[in-house]
Amino acid sequence: MRLASTFLILFSLTSICNAQTGRPMLPGKTKMPPRSFLQGMPTTKPMVEPTTLPVAKDTSTEQSSENGWYLSPHGTIRVLVLFAEVVYDKNPGKDPQADGAEHWPKGQLPRWKDNVFDPQQLKVPKALVTRYYHDISLGRYVVLGDYIDHLFTLRESEYPTAANGGSANALVIKEANKLPAFRTAHGLTPADFDLWKDGAAVGMPKTPGADDPHSYDHVMVILRNSSLTHGQGSTDPGSSGKLFGYESDTQSRFGGMNALPFEILKHEFNHLLLGGNNFHSGGGNAAQFDSYSLSVQGGWSMMGASSSSLLTCSGWDRDRLGWQAPNAPFLINARDAEENPVNGDLDPFAGDTGIFLLDDFVTSGDALRIRMPFLPEGEYQQWLWVENHQTYALNGSPTDRFHWEDTNNPCVAKARPGLYMTMQIERDIKSGRDLRRQRGLPPAFDGLRALRPRTYGRHLARHLPVRWPDDRLPEGPREPAQRQQRAGARGVR
């Protein structure tokens, strides 16, 4: 039977676990015979090694990935957006879109101006970027925004570098300051965009609250026809000047020539949460950067980009930023055969085998991470991530589907509900003095290698409901005949 909603996963690791590797047990671990899903509790009393208590150390200067890089990945932030276009009155032949487009007419704000961010928190987010962060963070990170209700015009005759989108923020701010007053489309004030105090070091705790004087948490410029064209952009900490008297903590700029620049927007904003280019992964790396693999990897991740398959996050992303479902007792959460919560971070050689039930990854946060055996301590360690993606058709999440799927191009197959797996290569350190440099790793990440579906083993079906927190179902199409399905999968023995 074809995979449908949620999955029952049975891992039988007897062939691996019965091997004698001599891998040492960690202090405090229980030694017991590894179990497959056919075995019950061990019949012999386990032997417990003495535990050596760690020496207390000062962690006040240690970074934590769960604090975010420049921005906190928790709580609520509101982004201030400014839309602009360039008037090529000196070099009209260089205008990449002289006549405008249906989605963004020349001389007007884009048609999708209200589909970037919701200005206020909603029970079910409507705007694309706000909904994206709601879904990937399991409601832990609320990204709101509003735009100044005016299209800013940069004339070449006044600004010789106007076409250079990479330096547009300062020019757009200069134009914005010519307005008589600060006015957003939904009547917000500068104070509404200052929800976090500036000044926290990267990886350190961020403090909610307003600055004195105010400082916008993030100012974003989107240009219709600059050198950024479409799918290009960048972000960085700091400010490009005072906007109505206030600086900014962080800033970004993007080209929106063909549509709402969602893919590059989320990729760059996620840098502020995760780190620099050495965190490119899930289809976001490029050939000019170093990598763990011989070729650039696809897959899915918050740091994915043009080579991504799914547009949503990965289990690795959620683990690194500390996102878990409201009532989940474990950061990597799964369920046993009786649907009791269990720790999904598994080490088969420590006895972590059995029957595991995974609800839909996007809506429940369930996942498994399985440590791979036979890797010496001097080698890059690896973990297998298992996620149950029910996709947009069944869970209604707009980004739990393949890249370009919504274009209805016949050459782009729709993502099928089922088990999706990736191999994590190293990058397991979440706290320390400098999280950017871990064990001399390469300057680029690309450490999530997606596995082909044919490796997923045999599957058995079972029917159980898809669960949303607080019984909330999102807006979006779902196939009625399949909406209440779950399925089971028997792992490879």
pLDDT exceeding 70 applies to what percent of the chain?
74
> 406: helix, coil or strand?
helix
Note the pTM of the prediction, 2 decimals: 0.82
Ranges assigned E (strand) in 126-246: 141-155, 215-223, 230-237
pLDDT for residue 484: 32
CB 100 within 8 A of CB 237: no
User: Which tokens go with 201?
Assistant: 């070091």
- The Cα–Cα gap between 465 and 395 comes to 11
User: Which tokens go with 198?
Assistant: 């500036």
Per residue in 431-445, pLDDT (tens digit) is 887 766 554 455 557
CB atoms within 10 A of CB 317: 25
> 279: helix, coil or strand?
helix
> For 227, which DSSP code?
T
- Kindly list the strands in the beta sheet with 230-237, ordered across the sheet, starting from the edge strand earlier in the chain: 141-155, 75-87, 215-223, 247-256, 230-237
| C-alpha of 9 from chain center | 25
The residue to which tokens 């001399």 are assigned: 440
- The Cα–Cα gap between 109 and 256 comes to 11
- The Cα–Cα gap between 79 and 265 comes to 12
- The Cα–Cα gap between 162 and 453 comes to 47
The residue to which tokens 């399985």 are assigned: 370
Per residue in 11-54, pLDDT (tens digit) is 444 333 333 333 333 333 333 323 222 223 333 333 334 444 44
The pairing of strands 215-223 and 75-87 is parallel
Nearest partner of 173 among 116, 123, 260, 241, judged by Cα: 241
Helix ranges (DSSP H) in 119-261: 128-136, 168-176
> 16: helix, coil or strand?
helix
> 255: helix, coil or strand?
strand
Ranges assigned E (strand) in 39-163: 47-48, 63-64, 75-87, 141-155
* Terminal C-alpha separation, the chain: 19
pLDDT > 70? residue 363: yes
User: Which tokens go with 242?
Assistant: 């005072």
- The Cα–Cα gap between 311 and 398 comes to 9
pLDDT for residue 181: 96
The pairing of strands 247-256 and 230-237 is antiparallel
pLDDT for residue 476: 42
| C-alpha of 31 from chain center | 37
- The Cα–Cα gap between 44 and 210 comes to 60
434: CB partners within 8 A, 6+ apart: 63
The phi, psi pair for 238, rounded to 5°, reads 105, -165
pLDDT > 50? residue 468: no
198 compared with 26, residue with greater pLDDT: 198
User: Which tokens go with 490?
Assistant: 């028997």
pLDDT > 90? residue 457: no
Average pLDDT over residues 351-370: 94
Helix ranges (DSSP H) in 370-418: 391-395
Q: How many CA atoms lie within 13 A of 255 on its CB side?
A: 19
Per-residue confidence band for 346, with pLDDT thresholds at 50, 70 and 90 = very high
Q: Rounded to whole angstroms, what are the CA distances from 378 to 26, 240, 439?
A: 16, 45, 11
Per residue in 283-328, pLDDT (tens digit) is 666 666 666 665 666 788 998 877 788 999 999 999 999 999 998 9
- Amino acid in position 69: W
The residue to which tokens 């006044």 are assigned: 158
Per-residue confidence band for 252, with pLDDT thresholds at 50, 70 and 90 = very high
pLDDT for residue 466: 39
- The Cα–Cα gap between 368 and 387 comes to 7
Cis previous bond, 92, omega within 30: no
CB 65 within 8 A of CB 203: yes
Nearest partner of 120 among 90, 88, 153, 78, judged by Cα: 78
Quick one: angle between helices 262-274 and 128-136, nearest 10?
Answer: 40
| C-alpha of 446 from chain center | 14
Structure-derived torsion over alpha carbons of residues 117, 223, 404, 290, reported in degrees to the nearest 10: -100
301: CB partners within 8 A, 6+ apart: 281, 282, 283, 284, 308, 313, 314, 316, 317, 448
| C-alpha of 57 from chain center | 31
pLDDT for residue 417: 93
Q: What angle do CA 48, 51, 52 make, to 5 degrees?
A: 160
pLDDT for residue 284: 64
Per residue in 180-189, pLDDT (tens digit) is 999 999 999 9
